[in-house]
């Protein structure tokens, strides 16, 4: 298992970021050595709650084609086999091919953000996000000149892209088994599980005062409302520009 896992970890960077010509969907579906059985094993043994969202088979094929990753990889298998994954009662949303409760596919969510047209090499790739407006992305040179293929986190409490030193497979395992309470220390409030249960995958919580301000450091004392994740992402990026971070 250790050898197989190590091999899969290296598939993603070379498949996606080196892609120049669009392969047909059938070329991306690996029937001999699919990655889904391994991902399924990870999910079955996960310490944190993982919910597999149902896929639409046609939508899954379209999303796989747009992303141009093979189903031998964990990313390709999640896109092709699921509408996405909900972690820890929906606190983290890992993007797949889209589903009723997470109506964003990975490629469609990235279009206009990390690339303009399908088939282009992305400057980074948004792979997941959370209920408080944090964004997980794989670096392809835009987030940092080094650490290509590694995951960064845009944290709402400082608006910085934080290096996590994880590749995609390791990020999945972190979501499945990691100490999320420690990772989100001071970013969860009493009864957050009940509140997050109200969210669909296209919504996030917006906080005021902003979590990155001195006044917003105590999340139990700030106001919050539900807004669209598209609006929240735009606000986050624009605020970074205004603060001179971008």
198 pLDDT band, cuts 50/70/90, is confident
| Rg (alpha carbons) of the chain, rounded to whole number | 17
Mean pLDDT over 233-239 rounds to 97
Task: For residues 97-110, give the mean pLDDT.
Answer: 97
Instruction: Give residue 21's pLDDT.
Output: 83
Give the pLDDT mean for 206-227.
96
* Averaged pLDDT of the chain: 92
Provide the token pair at 77.
């298998």
pLDDT of residue 4: 33
Q: What is the dotted CATH code of the domain comprising 2-181?
A: 3.40.1580.10
Q: Residue 10: which pLDDT band, with cuts at 50, 70 and 90?
A: very low
Question: 167: pLDDT confidence band, cut at 50, 70 and 90?
Answer: very high
Q: Are strands 135-139 and 92-95 parallel, antiparallel or unpaired?
A: unpaired
- The structure tokens listed for 132 are 């408080």
Of 36-40, 93-97, 179-183, 242-246, the one with minimum mean pLDDT is 242-246
Contact (Cβ atoms closer than 8 angstroms) between residue 201 and residue 104: yes
């Amino acid at each position: 298992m250790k050898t197989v896992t190590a091999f899969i970890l290296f598939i993603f960077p070379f498949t996606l970021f080196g892609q120049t010509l669009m392969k047909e969907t059938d070329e991306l579906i690996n029937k001999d050595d699919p990655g889904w059985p391994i991902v399924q094993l990870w999910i079955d043994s996960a310490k944190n709650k993982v919910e597999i969202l149902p896929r639409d088979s046609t939508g899954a094929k379209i999303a796989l084609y747009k992303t141009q990753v093979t189903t031998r990889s964990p990313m390709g298998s999640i896109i092709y086999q699921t509408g996405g994954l909900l972690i820890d009662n929906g606190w983290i949303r890992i993007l797949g091919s889209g589903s009723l409760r997470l109506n964003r596919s990975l490629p469609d969510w990235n279009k206009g953000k990390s690339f303009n047209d399908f088939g282009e090499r992305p400057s980074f790739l948004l792979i997941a996000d959370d209920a408080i407006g944090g964004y997980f992305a794989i670096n392809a040179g835009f987030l940092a000149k080094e650490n290509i293929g590694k995951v960064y986190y845009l944290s709402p409490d400082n608006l910085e892209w934080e290096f996590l030193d994880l590749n995609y497979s390791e990020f999945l395992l972190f979501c499945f088994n990691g100490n999320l309470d420690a990772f989100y220390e001071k970013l969860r409030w009493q009864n957050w599980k009940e509140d997050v249960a109200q969210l669909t995958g296209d919504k996030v919580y917006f906080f005021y005062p902003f979590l990155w301000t001195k006044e917003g450091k105590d999340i139990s004392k700030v106001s919050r409302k539900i807004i669209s994740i598209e609006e929240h992402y735009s606000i986050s990026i624009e605020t970074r520009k205004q603060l001179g971070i971008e």
